Amino acid sequence: MISIKEAISIVKQNTKPLLKTTVKTVEKAGGYLLSQDVMSPINMPPFNQSAMDGYAVNLHNNDSYKLIGEIQAGDNMQPTLKPGEAIRIFTGAPVPNSANAVVMQEKVKAEKNIIYIEGAITINQNIRPLGEQVRQGELALKEGTKLTPAAIGYLTSLGVSTASVYKKPSIALITTGNELVEAGNDLSYGQIYESNSKMLLSALYNLKFYDINSYKVSDNYRKTVNSLKLAITENDLVIITGGISVGDYDFVGKALKELHVQELFYKVKQKPGKPLFYGKKDDTQIFALPGNPAAALTCFYVYVNIALQNMMNRDAIELPRVQAKSVSHFEKKGDRPQFLKAIYTNGEVEILEGQSSAMQQTFALSNCLVFLDEDEQEIAIGQTVETIILPE
């Protein structure tokens, strides 16, 4: 059995960015990373642009200017202003080349065809010069940039409608167990509703992974081997829940051996989630999570999430950890380090009752996990504890 620290480090060492690429329309590329530099097809702005509603002027040594016309946003005109002439102009409109400042209308007194400017003017004020943001043919965004809403807005402003991005991993979600019934059907004695797949699907969607294939397997060795084989061949990451412990009908470990999956670790000194398996076959990552739902979800957040982020972002990103003051007393049984379901609010954390890895209601109420290390046996009220903030 290895430590949590070792297990995390093994996951980090054995996952690397997927370098497969795809082309997406920019509005569907949110959260992806650019796989190529994007060069700007245009100057941005494409013309000298007014930043204010007011008057474009050709400066001279006097506060009064002769008004010679008007330019609206979208107008296609290039009037010539002589020194001492002004033209009414609006935000976003093209500033004539002969103008060398725009004065906001609040600083102008207009009378028929003459305007009077109050206060000093600096040259080029309120003009966004052509190509100020980026010049045609220059680098707009470099390879590796994450496409945030702002980045998508920026690319679209340059007229870029598609982008080459790194693919996200395709993910297999496999649940195992004869006792599992899909919600919506009646339960017979001995059966329970299958919930791990929906729980993990939702966690994956929240982390913006959408290429997910679900497989259901009964406790049958041959069927387990066949399903795992297919899932491993067709996906970049395989997440299995259940069947990884030591019972006579826990076939996942044996099936992974038959399929020559390289074991990177099996069993971590932690609670919940002790019988966690991590391995790889060729370029496919494989996690077999314990079937108990709270153990499966904890392992997903602590380990699988690192692999996912690494496959996408090139950095091993763990969930954020903060120090919080406990408002609960908690006593640990046994010596395994423990992830405790809890509620974090404004620097304080409440550790919930019902920490067994089968207790889904407790997890449903939680927004964080308090980490209690091996050498700590209890948490006192008022004690500062390490708290892992969970994604929504």
Applying CB under 6 A, the residues found at the interface with ligand LQZAQKY5 are 175-177, 179-180, 192, 194-197, 241-247, 250, 272, 274-275, 290-293, 295, 357
To ligand LQZAQKY5, the closest distance from the beta carbon of 178 in angstroms equals 9
The type of residue at 376 is E
Cα separation, 324 vs 322, in Å, equals: 6
Task: Residue 285: name its binding partner from ligand LQZAQKY5, ligand MOO, none (Cβ under 5 to 8 Å by kind).
Answer: none
Q: Which residue has the tokens 């994007």?
A: 38
Q: Which is nearer to ligand MOO, 107 or 267 (CB)?
A: 267
Helix axes 305-313, 4-14, angle to 10 degrees: 30
Q: Which is nearer to ligand MOO, 253 or 272 (CB)?
A: 272
Cα separation, 234 vs 228, in Å, equals: 10
Cβ-closest position to ligand LQZAQKY5: 291
Give me the residues that bind ligand MOO (CB under 6 A), please.
271-274, 290, 292, 295, 357
Q: For residue 249, what are its two tokens?
A: 């009908």
Q: Where does the chain have alpha helices with state H?
A: 4-14, 149-157, 196-206, 221-234, 252-258, 293-299, 305-313, 360-365
Q: Which is nearer to ligand LQZAQKY5, 176 or 366 (CB)?
A: 176
To ligand LQZAQKY5, the closest distance from the beta carbon of 248 in angstroms equals 11
Beta strand 101-104 with 49-50 is: unpaired
Cα separation, 291 vs 175, in Å, equals: 8
Cα separation, 194 vs 232, in Å, equals: 22
To ligand MOO, the closest distance from the beta carbon of 304 in angstroms equals 15
To ligand MOO, the closest distance from the beta carbon of 164 in angstroms equals 42
First to last CA, the chain: 31
Task: Residue 184: name its binding partner from ligand MOO, ligand LQZAQKY5, none (Cβ under 5 to 8 Å by kind).
Answer: none
Q: Which is nearer to ligand LQZAQKY5, 255 or 295 (CB)?
A: 295
User: Pick from 359, 282, 295, 312: which is nearest to 204 by CA?
Assistant: 312
Task: Residue 213: name its binding partner from ligand MOO, ligand LQZAQKY5, none (Cβ under 5 to 8 Å by kind).
Answer: none
Task: Residue 175: name its binding partner from ligand LQZAQKY5, ligand MOO, none (Cβ under 5 to 8 Å by kind).
Answer: ligand LQZAQKY5
Q: Which is nearer to ligand LQZAQKY5, 100 or 357 (CB)?
A: 357
Phi first, then psi: what are they for 71, rounded to 5°?
-130, 125
Q: Which is nearer to ligand MOO, 1 or 23 (CB)?
A: 1
Cβ-closest position to ligand MOO: 295
To ligand LQZAQKY5, the closest distance from the beta carbon of 193 in angstroms equals 7
To ligand LQZAQKY5, the closest distance from the beta carbon of 200 in angstroms equals 9
How far is the CA of 234 from the CAs of 9, 282, 283, 360, in angstroms? Answer: 26, 12, 11, 31
Cα separation, 347 vs 108, in Å, equals: 52
To ligand LQZAQKY5, the closest distance from the beta carbon of 235 in angstroms equals 18
Residue 131's DSSP bridge partners are none
